[in-house]
Structure 1
């Protein structure tokens, strides 16, 4: 059982398979009231300012299955510092403590990074077709935006997590590439 001073962190994107901090427990978890979405304009890694790509954010609405990591009290401050350096570079995300439901039924408060809808990098609530057009045409310092999407889907599938909206975006990209 987690002590009162342990920290839970909820990951919905790369934090799920590359947390980068010490954890003593990792469980699948669900957050309600938020959904995984390609809603963050990427100006550097997966696009440019002239032709932004899209990367993941946790946006309002629906629910999202991800991973929850319990960080021991002794590592709490260092983990929060690390996550702020990683997630708050442009302040497109807001740091929140929100309830999540762990796979074993427990409900815990977790550190979560949600999209700031007032930030210039917020792309809004896009349809899968709209996101596909953007992702299909974007490239940044870290490569093709399509590769980011497909890598994310590969990791989600490997973890046994289905994201129907992201899968629809990938299908729409395939149709675009096929000329349809």
Structure 2
């Protein structure tokens, strides 16, 4: 049975629109047991140690709509190596498997990267306003934290994926930056 041999990867952030690996199939999917969250303190790409930003992770509980990619058996090991290099730089993410339901109704086992709540970079903001305060002013080597959140929300909407909490963070952060700039 082919489904038993299929290898799927679940993306919930930039992996959704910029996977960086070859795949044979891509579908909107919902992973269970985790939810998308701005729960990772970014010390390099979207902030600094002195003024960390926030980037996405999967936090425990609920479910998350994202994209599942089916990878060929021949590409499996190369894709895993690539993802480990991309996602496990500071070990703030844990490699796990989770069940996901594809848009066509199939259930598949997916490789996912979830936030490690015991890691020093893990932080769960209490509200969209608290997250927005952090996002609005953090800048790192890859640019403004606000641009990261805006880009994420824009790409998710293009895929037909809504995340009301993340959209609320963007709304509040945009409000903070427009007050500061006088717009």
1:18 matched to 2:13: no
TM-score normalised over the length of structure 1:
0.96
Structure 1 position 85, deviation (Å)? 0.5
**Ranges in structure 2 where 5+ consecutive residues have no aligned partner:** none
CA distance in 1 between counterparts of 2:16 and 2:115 reads 17
Greater mean deviation of Cα atoms: 65-74 or 122-131: 122-131
Greater mean deviation of Cα atoms: 109-118 or 32-41: 32-41
Kept in 2: contact 1:6–1:76 (CA 8 A): no
Structure 1 position 173, deviation (Å)? 1.1
CA distance in 2 between counterparts of 1:78 and 1:4 reads 19
Per the alignment, residue 161 of structure 2 pairs with: 161
Kept in 1: contact 2:38–2:124 (CA 8 A): no
Per the alignment, residue 146 of structure 1 pairs with: 146
**Ranges in structure 1 where 5+ consecutive residues have no aligned partner:** none
Per the alignment, residue 124 of structure 2 pairs with: 124
CA distance in 1 between counterparts of 2:173 and 2:179 reads 10
Kept in 1: contact 2:28–2:103 (CA 8 A): yes
Per the alignment, residue 69 of structure 2 pairs with: 69
CA distance in 2 between counterparts of 1:130 and 1:151 reads 20
CA distance in 2 between counterparts of 1:146 and 1:122 reads 19
